Structure 1
Amino acid sequence: MSTLSLLDLGFFVAETEASPKHVAGLLICKTPPKAGPGFVKNLYREYLTFTDVKAPFNRVIRFSLKAMPHWEPAASIDLAQHIFYHRLPRGGNDRQALYDFVAKLHVPMLDRSRPLWALHVIDGLEGGRFALYQKVHHAYADGVTMARWTAQGLAATPDQLELTPVWSQRHSGHGERRKRASQELMHSLWKEVGGTTMRVLGVGRLAAMLLLESVRLTKNAIALPFVSTARTPLTGQVTPGRQFTTAAVAMERVDAIRARTRSTLNHVALTCLDGALRRYLQDQGVDLKRPITIQMPVNLRREGEKTAGNKIGIIQVELSPPTDDPYVRLRNIGFSLRNVRTMIDSVAPEGIESYTVITGLVAQLAELLKLSNTLPPMGNTLVSNVPGPKEHLYLRGARMEEMHPISTLPPSNLLNITLFSYAGQLYFGLIATDELPNLHRLGDYVQEAFTELEASVRDAHAP
């Protein structure tokens, strides 16, 4: 038996049919040159033979009046209930058709009576391609962990043909180790007291910073939650139905801007998103007079730590005040992110984790009471950054051309954006409710905003 962390438990408490709490990945692969027409169907059949399912993919959630919610090993696992094969029809197998199909797969909750994961093998894409859509409950792992596990199951060269599905791997952090009999009780108590103390001190420090910012004794030291403009198409009551789209920019172009402006990848990406979101909102008749506020997950793991589960915090970040100059926007966002970094470094991870739970609980309560259309949201959208492999990976000789994380929607946010770098490309993955109009246009605006930023930086640094 394994108990849940407070954050992992929160994903179950917050989960509804309108807002399921699973994360997913979409892998688009090119069939090997000499592969026969049955390559993808045979891959699906081979997946079904990997019946030795490792933790956490062999665990089910248990709720009881006699004990805290906890994980238990499943008595048996029928892979046919977790692994599925689909073939898209000719004429309905282009990129948009794939995105629409994956959006439908992303809608239903995972069945809590079984281990909380699924893999869909999607055959018949145009250009001799196929895709894998895999989803797991967020309580199993965060996006960074899931991307790492996925990469570990793929090969570095096309001639490495061994198949290693993610559920058959032994993942660090999930071994069921018994505590040593000689472990002293005082050591455990001291560790718990220390963690609680850091948590209380961290929350107290954050509360003080929020108070100073709210009464304007500091400026941009920390972004305030629940002050964003509520009436935009990006926010409101989360409803069932999903849509998905992407944008991509070559990392070579991103790195050129970074080198000329001494910026980070986050600075550049958020600058493009800020410009794209403002243009998208203007299409909908909304012209914000204040900075867009995003929610941004931060990794709370220490250097080299590879534990499973979730170890993240979510903080608010103000982007740029309104401006028509992309270079000025970049500088403003750089200033804002430096303040965020200072704030994170000054607060214990336990404090940020507790702050995440507290603010998330307030937002979730508003959603459960169906007040998200009237109360201010924590932010206008959520943006996360998941680093991926720098080189192409392979699956049974098939080159994985693209890899897109697909996340869940936080309370009161109708859009979630995930940045993912893979094999020389920076991908922007956009998942939204199907009520958000013209999501594909926002993807187009991201690429246009990047081109405009390139030109602005070139002009600013012209000799």
Structure 2
Amino acid sequence: MNKLSLLDLAFFVAESEASPKHVGGLMIFKRPVRSAAGFASELYQELLAFDDVQAPFNRIIHFSLTGMPTWQESDAVDLEEHLFYHQLRRGRNGRQELYELVSELHQPMLERSRPLWELHLIDGLSERRFAIYVKMHHASADGVTMVRWAADSLASTASDRELRPLWSVGHGAAARKHKRLEEKMTQSLLGDLAGVGTRLLGIARLAAMLALEGAKLTRNAISLPFVADGNTPLTGQVTAGRQFATASVSMARVKEICARTRSTLNHVALTCLDGALHRYLDDEGVELTRPITIQMPVNLRQEGEHGTGNKIGIIPVELSPPTDDPYVRLRNIGFSLRNVRSMIDGVAPDAIESYTLITGVVAQLAETLGLSERLPPIGNTLVSNIPGPPDFLYLKGAKMEELHPISTLPAGNLLNITLFSYAGQLFFGLIATDELPNLERLGRYAGEAFNELEQSVFDAHQVVS
């Protein structure tokens, strides 16, 4: 029996039919050469046979009137309640139809009377492809953890045909070890006092930084929450119905820009998104006079620390003031991200986690009271970056060509964007409510903004040389 952290609990408290709180992943595979047309359907039947379900995939949430909710392990899990097979029809089996199906599957809440995960095998894609869509409650895992689990369940070579379904691998061992270390610490009064003191000191330091920025005694030292422009189609009351779109660029091209400008992948990706969002908003008749503010998750785990649940903070980040010059936009965003890095390094992780909970509660209260259309949001959208495996992975010889994390929508935001690097490509995954117009166009603009940045950087370096 495992108690939830406050952050994990928050995902249950905030959950509703209109705003479910699970994270997912879409994996697109190409069947092995000379494999039969029934490869994916046979794979589905094989997966059903792996009925020895390991933690955390055998855990059911238990709510109590007298204490915190707890995870309780089930003696048996009926895989037919968690594994599903879909067959796309010929002529309706392209990327757009796949995304429409995944959007439908991503919308419903997971049934709380059983372990909170599902796997959908989608057969019949064009060009000898099939897909696997997995979703799991955010209280069980964050995006980084789910990607690690997915990688653990796949093979590094096409010749390795052993099946290792992610629910049968046993991800709970590392979590239990980490839990025992935590329990050992809580037995020490000095350890408790030190932890509380560090958290309070960090919160006080963070509050002072916010107060100085709010009083304009510092400039761009830290981004303030709830100052983003709420008069855009990106924010408002989250409603049911989802849509999904993607874009991608070569990592070799991204690394070339990074080398020429001494930037990071985050700098380049956010520059592309900033340009794409401004162009998209301009199409929708919205002209911003201040920078777009994003919410950005940061990983708070120590190096080498694994486990289930969540260990993240979410902080606001101002992007670039409006400009038509991609190179200037890149430099502005680099300056903003350096300030964020200084803030994270100067504040204890527990304080950032507390800050995330406080701002999240305020935003969720506005959402619950139906005030998200009238009150300013924490940010205009949420953008996360999940590093993925650098090389191709395989499932019974089938190459995984693409992997797209699909997240949940935070209170007050109608769009969530996930960056993901895998096998030489940088993917942009966009999940939004049906209320957001022209999501596909925004995905296309991200790719075009990268082309513009690349040209601007090359032009600038030609002038210098």
Instruction: Measure the CA separation in 2 of the matches of 1:199 and 1:113.
Output: 35
Displacement after TM superposition at 1:178 (Å):
9.3
Q: What SS does the corresponding residue of 1:108 show, helix, strand or coil?
A: coil
Displacement after TM superposition at 1:307 (Å):
2.5
Displacement after TM superposition at 1:105 (Å):
0.2
Whether the 8 Å contact between 2:178 and 2:307 is mirrored in structure 1 is: no
Question: What amino acid is aligned across from residue 312 of structure 1 in structure 2?
Answer: I
Question: What amino acid is aligned across from residue 26 of structure 1 in structure 2?
Answer: L
Question: What amino acid is aligned across from residue 318 of structure 2 in structure 1?
Answer: E
Question: What amino acid is aligned across from residue 25 of structure 1 in structure 2?
Answer: G
Instruction: Measure the CA separation in 1 of the matches of 2:67 and 2:76.
Output: 23
Please, which moves more after superposition, 60-69 or 290-299? Answer: 60-69
Does structure 1 residue 151 correspond to structure 2 residue 151? yes
Q: Report the CA distance shift for 1:153/1:457 in structure 2 as closer, same or farther (over 3 A).
A: same
Correspondence 1:182-331 to 2 at 5 A: 187-331=187-331
Displacement after TM superposition at 1:67 (Å):
2.8
Instruction: Measure the CA separation in 2 of the matches of 1:378 and 1:305.
Output: 29
Q: What SS does the corresponding residue of 1:461 show, helix, strand or coil?
A: helix
Whether the 8 Å contact between 2:185 and 2:192 is mirrored in structure 1 is: no
Instruction: Measure the CA separation in 2 of the matches of 1:410 and 1:372.
Output: 11
Instruction: Measure the CA separation in 1 of the matches of 2:39 and 2:93.
Output: 17
Q: Report the CA distance shift for 1:10/1:130 in structure 2 as closer, same or farther (over 3 A).
A: same
Q: What SS does the corresponding residue of 1:168 show, helix, strand or coil?
A: coil
Whether the 8 Å contact between 2:185 and 2:191 is mirrored in structure 1 is: no
Does structure 1 residue 407 correspond to structure 2 residue 407? yes
Which whole-Å deviations, capped at 9, do the CAs of 1:172-207 have from their partners, x for residues lacking one? 433389969xx9898433222222211111111111
Does structure 1 residue 78 correspond to structure 2 residue 78? yes
Question: What amino acid is aligned across from residue 175 of structure 2 in structure 1?
Answer: H
Instruction: Measure the CA separation in 1 of the matches of 2:263 and 2:436.
Output: 32
Correspondence 1:94-113 to 2 at 5 A: 94-113=94-113
Q: Report the CA distance shift for 1:361/1:179 in structure 2 as closer, same or farther (over 3 A).
A: closer
Q: Report the CA distance shift for 1:69/1:186 in structure 2 as closer, same or farther (over 3 A).
A: closer
Which whole-Å deviations, capped at 9, do the CAs of 1:112-164 have from their partners, x for residues lacking one? 00000000000000001000000000011100010011001100110100010
Instruction: Measure the CA separation in 1 of the matches of 2:66 and 2:368.
Output: 26
TM-score by length of 2: 0.97
Does structure 1 residue 438 correspond to structure 2 residue 425? no
Q: Report the CA distance shift for 1:38/1:214 in structure 2 as closer, same or farther (over 3 A).
A: same
Displacement after TM superposition at 1:68 (Å):
1.7
Which whole-Å deviations, capped at 9, do the CAs of 1:245-302 have from their partners, x for residues lacking one? 0000000000000000000000000000000000000010001010000000000011
Instruction: Measure the CA separation in 2 of the matches of 1:291 and 1:304.
Output: 36
Instruction: Measure the CA separation in 2 of the matches of 1:396 and 1:184.
Output: 42
Whether the 8 Å contact between 1:163 and 1:395 is mirrored in structure 2 is: yes
Question: What amino acid is aligned across from residue 377 of structure 1 in structure 2?
Answer: P
Query: Which residue pairs with 1:391 in the alignment?
Result: 391
Whether the 8 Å contact between 1:315 and 1:356 is mirrored in structure 2 is: yes
Instruction: Measure the CA separation in 1 of the matches of 2:178 and 2:298.
Output: 29
Instruction: Measure the CA separation in 2 of the matches of 1:15 and 1:178.
Output: 26
Instruction: Measure the CA separation in 1 of the matches of 2:197 and 2:347.
Output: 12
Whether the 8 Å contact between 1:247 and 1:428 is mirrored in structure 2 is: yes
Q: What SS does the corresponding residue of 2:19 show, helix, strand or coil?
A: coil
Instruction: Measure the CA separation in 2 of the matches of 1:345 and 1:335.
Output: 16
Query: Which residue pairs with 2:416 in the alignment?
Result: 416
Does structure 1 residue 88 correspond to structure 2 residue 88? yes
Question: What amino acid is aligned across from residue 224 of structure 2 in structure 1?
Answer: L
Instruction: Measure the CA separation in 1 of the matches of 2:35 and 2:246.
Output: 28
Instruction: Measure the CA separation in 2 of the matches of 1:137 and 1:314.
Output: 18
Question: What amino acid is aligned across from residue 165 of structure 2 in structure 1?
Answer: P
Query: Which residue pairs with 1:167 in the alignment?
Result: 167
Correspondence 1:54-69 to 2 at 5 A: 54-69=54-69
Q: What SS does the corresponding residue of 1:248 show, helix, strand or coil?
A: strand
Whether the 8 Å contact between 2:298 and 2:312 is mirrored in structure 1 is: yes
Q: What SS does the corresponding residue of 2:342 show, helix, strand or coil?
A: helix
Query: Which residue pairs with 2:51 in the alignment?
Result: 51
Whether the 8 Å contact between 1:7 and 1:310 is mirrored in structure 2 is: yes
Does structure 1 residue 370 correspond to structure 2 residue 370? yes
Please, which moves more after superposition, 200-209 or 441-450? Answer: 200-209
Q: Report the CA distance shift for 1:31/1:189 in structure 2 as closer, same or farther (over 3 A).
A: same
Q: Report the CA distance shift for 1:249/1:33 in structure 2 as closer, same or farther (over 3 A).
A: same
Whether the 8 Å contact between 1:55 and 1:174 is mirrored in structure 2 is: no
Query: Which residue pairs with 2:24 in the alignment?
Result: 24
Which whole-Å deviations, capped at 9, do the CAs of 1:46-95 have from their partners, x for residues lacking one? 11011111111100001111332100012421100000000001111000
Instruction: Measure the CA separation in 2 of the matches of 1:160 and 1:456.
Output: 44
Instruction: Measure the CA separation in 1 of the matches of 2:199 and 2:342.
Output: 18
Q: Report the CA distance shift for 1:186/1:398 in structure 2 as closer, same or farther (over 3 A).
A: closer
Question: What amino acid is aligned across from residue 461 of structure 1 in structure 2?
Answer: H
Question: What amino acid is aligned across from residue 155 of structure 1 in structure 2?
Answer: A
Which whole-Å deviations, capped at 9, do the CAs of 1:226-261 have from their partners, x for residues lacking one? 001111000000000000000000000000000000
Whether the 8 Å contact between 1:56 and 1:174 is mirrored in structure 2 is: no
Runs of 5+ consecutive residues of structure 1 not aligned to the other structure:
none
Q: Report the CA distance shift for 1:226/1:179 in structure 2 as closer, same or farther (over 3 A).
A: closer
Does structure 1 residue 122 correspond to structure 2 residue 122? yes
Q: What SS does the corresponding residue of 1:173 show, helix, strand or coil?
A: helix
Q: Report the CA distance shift for 1:186/1:211 in structure 2 as closer, same or farther (over 3 A).
A: closer
Does structure 1 residue 12 correspond to structure 2 residue 16? no
Instruction: Measure the CA separation in 2 of the matches of 1:355 and 1:249.
Output: 34
